[in-house]
Amino acid sequence: MAKQRQSGETCKQRGEWAELKFMARAVERGLAVTRPHGDSESYDVGVEHKGRFSRVQVKSTTFKRKGSYTCNIVGPKRQRYAKGRLDFFAVYLVPIDVWYVIPFEVAEKNASLNLSPQKGRKFSQYIEAWELLR
């Protein structure tokens, strides 16, 4: 079910909500999840399947313009994430309840992503691509 941003809700609160949504969806797909202690790691959630561990940075967006959802994939102070510090971005398009699971190396040169959930569009192969975490 989609979530509209509530009055007074902070970006941090929505981010925490998106992380919980991601963890629930991952567990539904047979993946084990863990969270690092504190806020000092570059990833939000660890995902493990049959001994393979992946570090996932969870993002969410409600911002839509010209048929695409825009999501910033930068960290604090708009810094890009360092190579080797995470493996995937999981981006949640809140209004339509759709997840993108995008390998870090595919998105690393971008500060933001424009995501259009139609087949054949850029990044469309990563829509609900949970199998990449296996």
* 22-31, 32-41, 51-60, 84-93, range with the lowest pLDDT: 32-41
pTM for the whole structure:
0.91
Q: Is 22 domain-assigned?
A: yes
pLDDT band, residue 87 (cuts 50/70/90): very high
Structural domain that includes position 114: 11-67+77-133
Q: Is 72 domain-assigned?
A: no
Compute, in degrees rounded to 10, the torsion defined by CA atoms 25, 114, 63, 17: 20
pLDDT for 120 beyond 90: no
For residue 66, CA distances in Å to 72, 74, 113, 115, 116 come to 17, 22, 14, 11, 9
Q: Is 106 domain-assigned?
A: yes
Q: Is 31 domain-assigned?
A: yes
Tokens of residue 118, six digits: 């139609």
- Please give the Cα distance from 24 to 76 (Å, whole number): 25
What's the pLDDT at 118?
82
Is the distance from CB of 95 to CB of 62 less than 8 angstroms? yes
Find the CATH number of the domain harbouring 90.
3.40.1350.10
